[in-house]
Structure 1
Amino acid sequence: MRLLSLFIATLIFSLSANIVAASPVDTYEFDDEVTKIRFQALSKELRCPKCQNQNLADSNSPIAADLRRELYELLQQGKADSEIVDFMVDRYGEFVLYRPRVSELTYVLWFGPAVLILLGIIIVIVIVRRKPVDKKNLSLSSEQQEKLKNLTNDK
């Protein structure tokens, strides 16, 4: 009984800790609706440097909270979206963008899949064309033709 009580208390504590930790709440007041929409769009476009697969809006890490605050301050200063993105890239690198810019460093990322698909199609075409077609095996022997004729006549 004592062990069961301890287990239930541990379970309740861990669940309540997860609920509290999983709900980042930043309350920022904006001068207009456009700035608020820009904040939401940019926070969804920029990636959390710590979490790697979460954007700033979804992440509850301390660095994401700092970046959201920085984003808010930059918007309040009247910075353009491109200026804010450039600032974040200068500070954290291209990794902070979900859609990295096309540059010499990201050519493989942008064009690699298309090149691989094209290469695969070429390889399939070459293999199919090289395979010799044996016309002798394509036709039915007289015995096979007779069996086929008997099968179709039975119906």
Structure 2
Amino acid sequence: MKKWVLAFIAAMTFSIAAHAAIEVYEFDTLQQEEQFKELGHTLRCPKCQNNTIADSNAELAQDLRHKVYEMTKEGKSKNEIVEYMIDRYGNFVTYNPPFTLATSILWLGPLAVVVLGFGLIVVRSRKNKQVATEEKWDPEKEQRLKALLDEKNDGDKQ
């Protein structure tokens, strides 16, 4: 009886893996298939953020793949499909968002941080040089230094 229970559990375990669905899309022409593959690898999954809709297993990515498939079958061009996705999900859905007022912070922000940081370093280094040149060495400081060096310190030398 134990053998039958173990065999049943093993069969159920392996059947779960067989339940995984593989999406198969059929196209009328080779151009439609190529367009679908290209869009699948150029559109970003809004949920996963760093995966394409072809690489992601999220439900949203599956829906997007299905919508791209439908629009490709209808004969829509690549630009029409991309514009449709941008209208619904914003520029984030593309890996190369265009330069707009809204995305200018993303494009120019790192440059501004580097320029401001470099400017701050230059200003502070010039200020430190001015402070160093303002302090002049006078004879009184020289005498104090010699007195300190000549003074015998009981803790250092015996």
TM-score range, shorter chain: 0.5 to 0.7
> How many angstroms apart in 2 are the aligned matches of 1:78 and 1:53?
28
> How many angstroms apart in 2 are the aligned matches of 1:126 and 1:33?
61
Aligned match of 1:108 in 89, 105, 108?
105
Per the alignment, residue 61 of structure 1 pairs with 58
CA 1:16–1:101 in structure 2 vs 1: closer, same or farther (change >3 Å)?
farther
Q: Where does structure 2 lack aligned partners over 5 or more consecutive residues?
A: 1-8, 138-158
Aligned match of 1:88 in 69, 85, 88?
85
Aligned match of 1:127 in 124, 128, 141?
124
Give the SS at the match of 2:129.
Answer: coil
Aligned match of 1:27 in 12, 21, 24?
24
Q: Considering only aligned residues, what root-mean-square deviation do their CA atoms show, in Å?
A: 3.2
Aligned match of 2:41 in 33, 37, 44?
44
> How many angstroms apart in 1 are the aligned matches of 2:66 and 2:23?
8
Deviation at 1:36, TM superposition (A): 2.5
Give the stretch that moved more between structures: 94-103 or 28-37: 28-37
Q: Which residue type is aligned with residue 76 of structure 1?
A: K
Contact map agreement 1:24 1:60 (CA 8 A) in 2: no
What do residues 14-41 of structure 1 show as CA deviations (whole Å, max 9, x unaligned)? Answer: x996x679x7632112344433232222
> How many angstroms apart in 2 are the aligned matches of 1:99 and 1:113?
17
Q: Where does structure 1 lack aligned partners over 5 or more consecutive residues?
A: 1-8, 138-155
CA 1:118–1:20 in structure 2 vs 1: closer, same or farther (change >3 Å)?
farther
What do residues 136-155 of structure 1 show as CA deviations (whole Å, max 9, x unaligned)? Answer: 99xxxxxxxxxxxxxxxxxx
Percent identity of paired positions between Structure 1 and Structure 2: 40
Larger radius of gyration: 2
Deviation at 1:51, TM superposition (A): 2.2
Deviation at 1:108, TM superposition (A): 0.3
Deviation at 1:113, TM superposition (A): 0.9
> How many angstroms apart in 1 are the aligned matches of 2:87 and 2:112?
30
Alignment coverage as a number of residue pairs: 125
Deviation at 1:53, TM superposition (A): 2.6
